[in-house]
């Protein structure tokens, strides 16, 4: 089995390449450094020519809805076109829990990406992950104001990119789901509480303000909007374990 990983140099992509190799499959890593650009389509036909499976773990340059929608619709369009031409048997895309019910911000962009995947003729699987542990720091940075760090008091099941990569590799070597598998972390936490834990661990303790109007990935969300369903694949690594190991 030959698996192309688009976004192979990324947080999730690099781990997915390693997990796929553990499964004994041949992996073709794709990124701009390899001369392949999913935004322009450059090098894609050649890279996918003999692929059986494509795993798309590319990411947009921004969380802004317009910018990320432009990226995901263009990149996924190019990837699906090349996958169709190459006769790829399984297309696996990494999405976010919430894409099915939140229409704004980055979630709206991921929903647009999912729609393209669902409407292709290539058999597909969608893996929706909960927010990565790393996203807590990114949200804290984006929410830093003179009076403290504003983050929404969302309930989350943050997941490690190792656990997401394991779920993606497992799906990629199996039969297409023609549907969604959710991947989530083992613990439910509150974003403001883990943000305070992170800042203390980084030596930057200070006020963390639970602000229901503060955006998360460009969207203002209900408290439970990003919780997975009961059938989610549950990973092993908690936020506290991840924090200690970084
Ligand atoms: N962050 C979260 O909490 C979260 C939660 C659930 C799901 N996700 C999803 O996880 C996926 C992967 O995220 P990540 O954090 O692992 O991404 P990342 O670390 O930012 O990596 C992005 C990858 O995309 C590649 N890429 C970007 N633009 C490209 C282009 N024009 N042509 C070719 N390759 C390009 C990059 O390669 P080069 O720059 O080397 O070319 C890199 O390998 C995303 O789709 C995201 O929606 C994220």
- Between the CA of 60 and the centroid of ligand 1 the distance, in Å, is 6
pLDDT of the residue at 206: 86
Checking phi first, is residue 41 left (phi over 0); if not, alpha (psi -120 to 50) or beta?
A: left
Please, what CATH class does the domain formed by 2-245 belong to? alpha beta
Structure tokens at 97: 């829990």
- Between the CA of 57 and the centroid of ligand 1 the distance, in Å, is 5
Burial class (CB in 10 A: 0-12, 13-18, 19+), 128: buried
Is the pLDDT confidence value at 100 over 90? no
- Between the CA of 69 and the centroid of ligand 1 the distance, in Å, is 14
Residues 20-45: tens digit of each pLDDT: 999 999 999 999 999 999 999 999 99
Which amino acids bring their CB within 6 angstroms of ligand 1?
7-13, 31-33, 36-39, 57-59, 94, 96, 110, 129, 131-132, 135
- The rounded mean pLDDT for the chain is 97
- Closest atom of ligand 1 to 39 CA is 31
Return the higher-pLDDT residue of 76 and 206: 76
Residues 143-162: tens digit of each pLDDT: 999 999 999 999 999 999 99
- Give the pTM: 0.97
What is the biggest distance separating any 2 CA atoms in the chain, rounded to whole angstroms? Answer: 55
pLDDT of the residue at 160: 98
Reported confidence tier of residue 85, pLDDT bands at 50, 70, 90:
very high
- Between the CA of 61 and the centroid of ligand 1 the distance, in Å, is 8
Give me the mean pLDDT over the 105-126 stretch.
98
Measured distance CA(206)–CA(198) in Å, rounded: 11
CA 29 to chain centroid, in Å, comes to 17
Interhelix angle 191-201/134-142, rounded to 10 degrees, is: 90
pLDDT of the residue at 177: 98
- Between the CA of 184 and the centroid of ligand 1 the distance, in Å, is 18
- Closest atom of ligand 1 to 56 CA is 45
Measured distance CA(151)–CA(137) in Å, rounded: 11
């Amino acid at each position: 089995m030959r698996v192309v990983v688009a976004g192979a140099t990324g947080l999730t992509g690099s781990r997915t390449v390693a997990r796929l190799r553990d499964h004994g499959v041949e992996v073709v890593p794709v990124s701009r450094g390899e001369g392949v650009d999913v935004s322009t389509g450059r090098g894609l036909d050649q890279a996918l020519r003999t692929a059986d499976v494509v795993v798309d773990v590319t990411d947009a340059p921004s969380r802004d809805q317009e910018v990320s929608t432009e990226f995901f619709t263009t990149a996924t369009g190019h990837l699906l076109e090349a996958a169709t031409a190459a006769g790829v048997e399984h297309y696996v895309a990494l999405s976010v829990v919430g894409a099915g019910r939140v229409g704004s911000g980055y979630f709206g962009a991921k929903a647009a990406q999912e729609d393209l995947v669902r409407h292709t003729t290539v058999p597909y699987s969608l893996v929706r992950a909960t927010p990565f542990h790393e996203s807590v720091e990114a949200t804290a940075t984006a929410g830093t104001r003179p009076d403290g760090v504003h983050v929404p008091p969302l309930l989350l099941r943050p997941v490690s990119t190792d656990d997401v990569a394991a779920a993606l590799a497992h799906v990629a070597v199996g039969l297409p789901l023609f549907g969604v598998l959710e991947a989530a972390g083992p613990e439910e936490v509150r974003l403001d509480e883990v943000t305070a834990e992170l800042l203390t661990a980084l030596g930057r303790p200070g006020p963390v303000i639970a602000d229901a109007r503060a955006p998360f990935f460009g969207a203002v969300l209900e408290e439970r909007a990003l919780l997975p369903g009961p059938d989610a694949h549950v990973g092993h690594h908690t936020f506290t374990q991840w924090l200690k190991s970084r």
